[in-house]
Amino acid sequence: MQSQQLLSFSIEKLEELKGREIVTLDVKKRSSVTDYMVVCSGNSAQHVRSLAAHVTHEARTLEQPVLGVEGENAGEWVLVDLGEVIVHVMQDDCRDYYQLEKLWGESQAGAHGE
């Protein structure tokens, strides 16, 4: 998948399981590691793990490489690395603390439906 297709795919999969406050960060000019970051909130540790697992499972179903998944055990913040897109699924407290949108440039962020 191209990076834009992978971005749309990731957002769609998060929306399927009711991910909240989905924000896209275009980091192409600021990162050599990825093109986009997607930040999403989950309601609980189980919801965060389920959202990340759904994105991972669906990507693998389409034979899209998953380069890594981190944080599954705690469920406060799970990162899914799809290469051109990195998905961050976080509980609200964790998201408020780390403020990835501000760190990576809120002015470049795009919000999606809740």
Q: What is the pTM of this model?
A: 0.90
N-to-C CA span, the chain: 25
Distance CA 22, CA 35 (A): 16
| pLDDT tens sequence for the chain (114 residues) | 899 999 999 999 999 999 999 999 999 988 889 999 999 999 999 999 999 999 999 999 999 999 999 999 999 999 999 999 999 999 999 999 999 988 887 544 555 654
Specify the length of the chain in residues.
114
Domains of the chain: 3-107 (3.30.460.10)
